[in-house]
Chains A and B, each alone.
Chain A
């Protein structure tokens, strides 16, 4: 795929997510705390989950882009890696909007088992998306095929830098569907 098109699309998706988060910040606190069932996440916890998991990629990308980006000349083509592409695609909803295969959350990304979640989680999510946008802009001048970033699946699996952008943003997209359901109070 063409790198600049990919980067433009990812930035557009992030801008939408930021705009929606700013709207959600204005909603009543009780709504953001609402759970569909005891033991299930509320909206704050979904945001904190995104902070925890996407944070892995933002930190990894910041490190390689600051450290090694200069070693590789810009490459206008990005060819997704096998695992990175599969992981990203598996985040997309089915044609009818249903969420495809659910997965069990790793403990380290489960807010109630970590430090919880609060209104601050939304503020920090916006900052994280803005950081991704900055990183994407700086990524135009390097080769996203050659740089590698440790994935949130564990230190053994490393994504190509391009996938380290695509996956967390698709993962966030998926969780925004969950957030909209929570805010509507539908099942």
Chain B
């Protein structure tokens, strides 16, 4: 639970009094490798922080999984759009390795937003951060060449290349596994 407090305090300061109300709302959830954290069509029940493991966010398209992102130690996890809208998830979240997530339910989080100004601000700041990430990725996908996309990822998240199957990273970078493999050989 220490991780939850540290993560929130990257954005806002919490008093001990705040924390006694926030801490009990979070619980540990374990997922074995290969298990869905959230399935397409089900409503996401929780917002997570990753304590351990790597997860993949993807959506099914033409019989394949199109990978749109990964989460790992210290990052957010879950099908956020479904969590917020309370509508069926359009993305799948899959544990790629044995995974421990710290999660909070929708009602608890909304209540904390209402009761604690610091939490309300935290909520705004993480959404702003997520939005910036989406904008950057959109530009990268539309304007960069395959080679440039590979280099950006390699510079930003080099560890990912060790953690995740190549076909998922290739899908994430919107290139064929063959192109990915060729680029990787050239760069190493």
Does A12 have its Cβ within 8 Å of any Cβ on chain B? Answer: no
Does A45 have its Cβ within 8 Å of any Cβ on chain B? Answer: yes
Query: Contact: A116 with B35, CB < 8 Å?
Result: yes
Known contacts: A30-B52, A115-B36. The answer to whether A42 contacts B98 by CB under 8 A is yes
Known contacts: A33-B98, A33-B100, A42-B98. The answer to whether A28 contacts B32 by CB under 8 A is no
Query: Contact: B30 with A119, CB < 8 Å?
Result: yes
A116–B31 alpha-carbon span in the complex (Å): 8
The residues in B between 1 and 42 inclusive whose CB is less than 8 angstroms from any CB of A are: 28-37
Does B77 have its Cβ within 8 Å of any Cβ on chain A? Answer: no
A3–B95 alpha-carbon span in the complex (Å): 45
Q: Which residue of A lies closest to B30 (CB)?
A: A29
- Total A-B residue contacts, Cβ distance less than 8 Å: 51
Known contacts: A30-B52, A116-B95. The answer to whether A45 contacts B32 by CB under 8 A is yes
Interface 0/1 of A94-112, CB less than 8 Å to B: 0000000000000000011
Instruction: Give the interface centre of B33, B35, B95 by most chain A CB atoms within 10 Å.
Output: B35
The residues in A between 16 and 41 inclusive whose CB is less than 8 angstroms from any CB of B are: 28-30, 32-33
Query: Contact: B100 with A44, CB < 8 Å?
Result: no
A30–B101 alpha-carbon span in the complex (Å): 10
Q: Which residue of A lies closest to B27 (CB)?
A: A119
Which residues of chain A come closer than 8 Å to B33, judged between CB atoms?
112, 116
Which residues of chain A come closer than 8 Å to B30, judged between CB atoms?
29-30, 32-33, 44, 118-119
Q: Which of A29, A45, A112, A116 contacts B29 (CB 8 A)?
A: A29
Which residues of chain B come closer than 8 Å to A117, judged between CB atoms?
31-32, 35
Which residues of chain B come closer than 8 Å to A115, judged between CB atoms?
34-36
Instruction: Give the interface centre of B30, B37, B52 by most chain A CB atoms within 10 Å.
Output: B30
Which residues of chain A come closer than 8 Å to B32, judged between CB atoms?
33, 42, 44-45, 48, 111-112, 116-118
Which residues of chain A come closer than 8 Å to B100, judged between CB atoms?
29-30, 33
Query: Contact: B34 with A118, CB < 8 Å?
Result: no
Q: Which residue of A lies closest to B39 (CB)?
A: A115
Q: Which residue of A lies closest to B37 (CB)?
A: A118
A82–B33 alpha-carbon span in the complex (Å): 39
Q: State how many angstroms separate the Cβ of A33 from the closest Cβ of chain B.
A: 4
Which residues of chain A come closer than 8 Å to B36, judged between CB atoms?
115-116
A45–B98 alpha-carbon span in the complex (Å): 11
A115–B95 alpha-carbon span in the complex (Å): 11
The residues in A between 68 and 116 inclusive whose CB is less than 8 angstroms from any CB of B are: 111-112, 115-116
A45–B33 alpha-carbon span in the complex (Å): 10
Q: State how many angstroms separate the Cβ of A149 from the closest Cβ of chain B.
A: 29
A117–B32 alpha-carbon span in the complex (Å): 5
Q: State how many angstroms separate the Cβ of A167 from the closest Cβ of chain B.
A: 26
Instruction: Give the interface centre of A32, A42, A111, A116 by most chain B CB atoms within 10 Å.
Output: A116
Knowing that A118-B29, A118-B35 touch, tell me 6 more A-B residue pairs with CB under 8 angstroms.
A29-B28, A29-B30, A30-B52, A44-B30, A116-B95, A117-B31
- Cβ contacts A to B, 24 pairs, < 8 Å: A29-B28, A29-B29, A29-B30, A29-B51, A30-B100, A33-B30, A33-B32, A33-B99, A42-B32, A44-B30, A44-B32, A112-B32, A112-B33, A112-B34, A115-B35, A115-B36, A116-B35, A116-B36, A117-B31, A118-B35, A118-B95, A119-B29, A119-B30, A119-B31
